[in-house]
Copies of this chain bind each other. A is one copy, B any other.
Amino acid sequence: MKHDSSSAGAPSPRGRRPGHRDTRERIREAARELFLADGYRDVTMRSIAAAAGVDVALVSYYFGSKNGVFSAAMSLPVSPIELLDVALEGDPDTLAERLLRALLAAWDDPTVGVPLQTAASRAIGETALSELVAEMVEREIVAKIAERLPGPEPYERAAIFVTQMSGVIFHRYLLRVEPIASMPVEEIVRRLVPSLRSTLEI
């Protein structure tokens, strides 16, 4: 109940007493507006707290990290960046396959995939959101994969790789083009990994 008291003076969205849910939601909405206006990099835990009118410790308490607030602000049940971080760990030789499998596992899972599809569909039509998603892809996905690649021009190779992965998202989850939309995971892996591996190496 201590957070009830910390937000005591604030008006409740539902007209009852202020509480956890109201505060959390207020932070989430303030973060969403900030991210859409300023992009990912320029938003801080502190600027989110200020916009929501709460202490920065409360933002940490509810969401852990900036990436956690971002996922909540985008209505994503898990952080795509954390899924990526897990898939990045391991043998460099199977990096392409691990990343493809992680993508398919997340987007094929209805509890994760449906919110991701909603976010991606909206991003195509809304300029502020598409700029934010593009920035996330550039800074958080491409950049992190590039760090794992030996050799010259890792960023460009990672960008082409992510472009090809996005083709899978586009055809399997957004447009639902057959046979990709209902192709078994093992078949996608078998057909796509050799080409994804060559992309990482060129």
Residues of B within 8 A of A157 (CB): 191
| Complex: chain B residue closest to A187, CB-CB | B156
Residues of chain B within 8 A of A137, CB atoms compared: 171, 175, 177
Which B residues touch A142, using CB under 8 A? 177
Is A125 a contact partner of B121 (Cβ separation < 8 A)?
A: yes
Partner of A191, one of B122, B160, B171, B190: B160
A133 within 8 A of B: yes
Q: Which of A123, A166, A187, A198 has the most CB of B within 10 A?
A: A166
Determine whether the beta carbon of A177 is less than 8 Å from that of B134. yes
Contact A174 B130 (CB under 8 A): yes
**In the bound complex, CA of A172 to CA of B160 (Å):** 11
Alpha-carbon distance A177/B161, docked complex (angstroms): 12
Assess whether A130 is in contact with B176, with CB atoms less than 8 Å apart. yes
Residues of B contacting A202 with CB < 8 Å?
190-191, 194-195
* CA gap between A171 and B136 in the complex, in Å: 12
